[in-house]
Amino acid sequence: MKRAIAILLFATATLAVAAVATAATVTASGTVTGAGSVTLTSGTTATFAATLDGTDQTVNYTVPLTIVDARGTGGGWNLTLTSTTFTTGTRTLATTASSLTAVTAGCTTGVTCTNPTNAVTFPVADPAGATAPAAVKFFNAAANTGMGSFTITPTIAVSVPGNSYAGTYSSTLTVAAVAGP
């Protein structure tokens, strides 16, 4: 009987060693592919209102934007802006009437991202003319930042002189996303 127990213990120990000896490791790998570009979309029409009272006024409006950097390179990006002069069709505001005074930026709700690091200081003059002049950079994401999906909201101040004519003024803004900080 003792011999049978000894053989059984020897067999159990041999099986335990054999189980450890057959363990294997597996390396898992996968490919993550970037989307290839930085994309920009805008939300709504931007508006402002001023009531003439004989004094110079500054009124603000915001431009809600969504930018997506799905390239996966960490190459950074920047946003540029140009515009036409605010006009009623017969009356205009000065070509220097607008400037960007601030920009807020944050990850799109429910998305993991790397917040952009902006090096542009404010205010930034918004160039304007009858035909839109060369664009200026108003926000950027430094290298290795700005990866993911973001809501970017620039605030634009418009100077309305006290001697302005009443009317509905409009301007065409052109905002572009450009690869590289």
**Dist. CA 36–CA 12, nearest whole Å:** 58
**Dist. CA 165–CA 167, nearest whole Å:** 6
Asked whether the predicted pLDDT for residue 108 surpasses 90, the reply is no
pLDDT higher at 37 or 153: 153
Confidence of residue 43 (pLDDT cuts 50, 70, 90): confident
Sign (positive/negative) of CA torsion 100, 103, 109, 113? positive
- Please write the tens of the pLDDT for every residue from 2-17: 555 555 445 555 545 5
Q: Where do the domains of the chain lie, and which CATH numbers do they carry?
A: 34-179 (2.60.40)
> Which of 79, 93, 102, 82 has the alpha carbon at shortest distance from 158?
93
**pLDDT score recorded for residue 112:** 86
Asked whether the predicted pLDDT for residue 88 surpasses 90, the reply is yes
Contacts of 148 by beta carbon, 8 Å cutoff, 6+ apart: 68, 69, 70, 107, 108, 111, 112, 113, 114
Bridge partners, residue 149, by sequence: 68
**pLDDT score recorded for residue 33:** 78
145 in helix, strand or coil?
Answer: coil
- Please write the tens of the pLDDT for every residue from 109-162: 877 889 999 999 999 999 999 999 999 999 999 999 999 999 999 999 999 999
The mean pLDDT value of the chain amounts to 88
DSSP 8-class letter at 94: -
Q: What does the pLDDT average to over 87-115?
A: 92
Q: 123: cis peptide before it, omega within 30°? A: yes
**pLDDT score recorded for residue 3:** 56
